Amino acid sequence: MRIVVSIVVGLLVWIVCVPMSFAALLGFPPAFDGTGTLNTLGVIFALLVSIFWFSVFLRHRWPWVPFIIGAVLASAWGDGTLLLIGMFHLIVRSPRRQAVIATIIGSILILVGVLRLYRLSPAHNPFGILFLTEPDQIPGVETSLPADESVFGMNMLTVIAGLIGLAVSLGFGYLLRRTRRMKAVESFAEAETQRNEDLSAQLARKSERELLARELHDTLSHRLSVISLHSGALETGDRADPEVSATAHALRTEARASLDDLRHLVGGVREGTLGVRSPPQPALTPPNSASLSSLPALIRSVQATGTEVRPSLIMQDVESAPTVLHRAVYRVIQEALTNAMKHAPGFPVTLMITTSAAQGCHIVVSNPLPNPQTRFSRPDPSNAQGLRAGSSELAASGSGAGVESIRERARMLGGSASSGPRGETFVIEVSFPPFPVQQPR
């Protein structure tokens, strides 16, 4: 749209100003013969002027072109219109040094042209057509000359037109240049302000992450270390009871794995990289234990607690899965199994996982719903149902954050998650979208 407007304005300027330049040829005596009509040289100059004025269409991209051509016309016979247009656009669009040079050169040429026209014979003054009304008052004829008042008016009009044209070109040019500069400064200031605000927000978030990481490390790390030490002592101290020793071993293994996860979590919180998507990497096992290849170990650790897990794992293209998918699937299954152990202890848990690059990852974790009448009763160690009844403390500690975390992880990767009773079974179902296959190198 701007290009169309520029072309239309240029065309209007050409239509208006070309006749003015033809009239300015009166200030060039060699263009007329003795009878006051254009000679061959004058016709050639008139054609050249009409061609030169097409440079006005280049005023935006190359303002030096109309300025130089206008300088030639102003030097030849005092026609400064094209020069003023080129000078205006140079002042607005060019660097400061070029604008100053164009201002000095253009002002000198305009003043010299005005002085030249002022000293010419009234017959050769372009403004003479406003004062010479008699037919015999034409260039080249020495008869009737205009009155002194007409000559004075002619000269004053010449001076006023030149000064007004120069003032308009310089005044509006520098005014528009200053306006553009102020807008650029304002835009720069707004960008800097936005940048400072972003940096302040980043610093604030970094400070919050460091505080959170420090609190996580100082509290959970200590407690997990104590659990690991006590379970290790229980494992080595009570050799007479293999079941107690195996349970203590499983507890110590989980405590160590939790410490590794905590270190990874603290590092991710400090660096702010927990939610960052990683590009697919070939033959990759994530730096922590949360990976698709670690799922069998996770299932074994849950089974070591006495929970019956019925797994069905069909996994393809695992080496092409991105790191963030490894971690998300592992955490979803971990949370789903934890949810089943908390709310339905002693009941079997069915776990089905299918993973491929073309179909994505589909997870279904289900367990029978416990009897509401016995769900919160106190456990009886001598009874086989005691494990089921011992869910009071764990179930009461739940706040729904685990299921919401599953939904958030699925949503972050463009997947979907649903959870809730289906008949006599509680089902958590999660789907992740397909991922590209990593080409072998």
Measured CA to CA, the distance from residue 286 to residue 343 in angstroms comes to: 30
For domain 295-441, the question of CATH label 3.30.565.10 is answered with yes
More confident position, 139 or 207: 207
Alpha carbon of residue 270 to chain centroid: 25
- Where do the domains of the chain lie? 2-146, 295-441
- pLDDT, residue 287, reads 40
Mean pLDDT over the full length of the chain: 79
What band does 171 get if pLDDT is binned at 50, 70 and 90?
A: very high
Computed on alpha carbons and rounded to an integer, the radius of gyration of the chain in Å comes to 45
Mean pLDDT on 371-376 = 51
- In tens, the pLDDT along 51-110 reads 999 999 988 889 999 999 999 988 888 888 999 999 999 999 889 899 999 999 999 999
H, E, C per residue of 97-112: HHHHHHHHHHHHHHHH
Mark 383-413 as b/e (b = at least 16 C-beta within 10 Å). eeeebbbbbeeebeeeeeebbeebbebbeeb
- In tens, the pLDDT along 272-323 reads 666 554 444 433 333 446 788 889 988 988 887 778 999 999 999 888 888 8
